């Protein structure tokens, strides 16, 4: 799999069709959600956002994004791997690439709100679950996970 930067329109299309079909709220290039809080910060919209696509034979088979969030932290968001391509470690590779980009932007940690169905990929990429499973969202259950990328 080759991982490269993609634009928001490309990832938004995948998210709308495959990751969040029928989503009630708008799909934005960032999430205002804060780590381990019921608070939101819309200032994240003005911080760097990066969208990544994983390609096999020129076909987009995996996506993920990140944006800088709270102080020294980045948010990983929207991990998706084509169901026909699962089991090849592509989720793990997308998360590692996302963490590397976050570190390059100066983040010391990267967090996400992982779906239960994706937790194995996060754990393989050195993320640690730091909350219980919550099922109050549209696409849960989810839990907070974090990877302290800066040593």
- Strand segments, DSSP code E, in the chain are 2-6, 49-56, 59-68, 73-81, 109-115, 128-129, 142-147
Separation of alpha carbons 146 and 1, rounded Å:
24
For the domain that residue 42 is a member of, what is the CATH number?
Answer: 3.40.630.30
The yes-or-no verdict on residue 3 having pLDDT over 80 is yes
Provide the percentage of residues in the chain whose pLDDT is more than 90: 88
3-state secondary structure 122-138: HHHCCCEECCCCECCCC
The yes-or-no verdict on residue 60 having pLDDT over 80 is yes
Instruction: Note down the domain range covering 77.
Output: 2-147
Q: Compute CA distances 93 → 89, 110, 118, whole Å.
A: 6, 15, 13
Residues listed for the chain: 151
Separation of alpha carbons 137 and 82, rounded Å:
22
Q: What is the pLDDT of residue 150?
A: 73
The SS3 call for residue 24 is: coil
pLDDT tens per residue across span 70-96 = 889 999 999 999 999 999 999 999 999
Q: What is the pLDDT of residue 151?
A: 58
Number of domains in the chain: 1
Specify whether the CB–CB gap between 32 and 42 falls below 8 A: yes
Separation of alpha carbons 9 and 28, rounded Å:
10
Q: pTM to 2 decimals?
A: 0.94
Q: What is the pLDDT of residue 119?
A: 96
């Amino acid at each position: 799999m080759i991982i490269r930067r993609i634009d928001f329109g490309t990832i938004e299309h995948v998210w709308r069709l495959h990751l969040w079909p029928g989503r009630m709220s708008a799909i934005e290039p960032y999430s205002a959600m804060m780590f381990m809080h019921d608070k939101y910060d819309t200032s994240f919209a003005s911080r760097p956002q990066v969208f990544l696509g994983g390609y096999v034979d020129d076909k987009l088979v995996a996506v993920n994004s990140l944006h800088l969030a709270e102080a020294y932290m980045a948010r990983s968001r929207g991990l998706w791997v084509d169901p026909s391509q699962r089991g090849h470690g592509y989720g793990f590779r997308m998360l590692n690439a996302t963490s590397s980009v976050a570190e390059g932007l100066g983040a010391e940690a990267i967090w996400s709100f992982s779906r239960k169905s994706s937790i194995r990929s996060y754990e393989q990429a050195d993320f640690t679950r730091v909350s219980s499973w919550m099922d109050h969202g549209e696409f849960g259950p989810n839990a907070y996970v974090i990877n302290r990328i800066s040593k």
